Amino acid sequence: MTTTDSTGQTGQSGSPDSAGPTNWASIEAIADAVRVCTKCRLHSDRINAVPGDGSPVASILIIGEGPGFNEDQRGLPFVGRSGKLLDELLATVPLSRDDVFITNVVKCRPPDNRDPLPDEVSACRPYLERQMELLDPKVIVTLGRHSLLRFYPEGRISKDHGKILRWGDRILFPLYHPAAGLRNPAVKRELERDVLRLPEALRESLMTPGQRATPIGQANTTSAPGSETPTSVDAEISGTEEVDKKRFETVIENELVEEKGERQLGLL
């Protein structure tokens, strides 16, 4: 099927194999392709693919790991309890879903909410890459460990959450997954504190190179996501803070293991 976007450009929807990975002319054309995609095994158990939702001109792109039970049922991202917490967090900034675009690394629910496998992430990559090209977001907010690793393989969510990281011409802003916040009040407090920096991340993204506190690192905006090394625009933390953070990291690592168990039970 040929689609036409608001600029009059045409593109193909439907099977990505017939359309090529970068031909979609609009966010909706990508969504059409995702809904009929059979490029990886995850298509076989899905009820609905979840292409993403939100403003097609958003400056902020929020990326989770993959759809869960509720998302699979409705074909929309973050519609369960985690989604409600995400809405509450955004409202404190204040932002709503109409101000952002929300999607996932993989667009179909992994069975039992397991982690997406590398070949599934790879098969789904063209959709996310094209969404990023079309949206051209200033700030990419990753939710949880797996979404962060997608962009920053050396990253650690327990260390990097809430940091404003420069990633090419964009800002990478890692947050804990809201599901972890639902399980652990300490993580929720971190989330609530971190999200308050989102306006600062957006401001940083709008700075010209001469205005930036820290020069851009090795990032290259034309290379594939995951091949770049973000640089922090934050000051180094003190030794005392480092000790406190290490204690907290241990709690969080345990929390993530427990969280996965509950997700597999479909509780989050």
Q: CB of 182: closest distance to ligand SF4 in angstroms?
A: 25
Q: What are phi and psi of 134, to 5 degrees?
A: -75, -40
Residues 228-257 that bind ligand SF4 (CB under 6 A): none
Two structure tokens written together for 9: 């450009």
**66 closest CA partner among 104, 28, 23, 94:** 104
34 or 100: CB nearest ligand SF4: 34
Q: CB of 126: closest distance to ligand SF4 in angstroms?
A: 8
108 or 195: CB nearest ligand SF4: 108
How far apart (Å, rounded) are the C-alpha atoms in residues 238 and 225? 31
Cβ neighbors of 256 (< 8 A, separation 6 or more) are 145, 157, 180
Q: Is the peptide bond before 94 cis (omega within 30 degrees of 0)?
A: yes
Q: CB of 172: closest distance to ligand SF4 in angstroms?
A: 22
65 or 255: CB nearest ligand SF4: 65
107 or 146: CB nearest ligand SF4: 107
Q: Which CA distances in Å does 15 have to 39, 49, 135?
A: 9, 14, 21
Q: CB of 39: closest distance to ligand SF4 in angstroms?
A: 4
**167-206 footprint of ligand SF4 as x/- string (CB under 6 A):** ----------------------------------------
Residues 79-138 that bind ligand SF4 (CB under 6 A): 106-108, 120, 123-124
105 or 140: CB nearest ligand SF4: 105
Residues 7-66 that bind ligand SF4 (CB under 6 A): 34, 37-40, 42-43, 49
Chain-centre distance of CA 95, in angstroms?
16
How far apart (Å, rounded) are the C-alpha atoms in residues 77 and 62? 10
Q: What are phi and psi of 227, to 5 degrees?
A: -100, 5
Name the 3-class secondary structure at 37: coil
Q: Is 141 in the site for ligand SF4 (CB under 6 A)?
A: no
Give residues in contact with ligand SF4 (CB under 6 A). 34, 37-40, 42-43, 49, 106-108, 120, 123-124
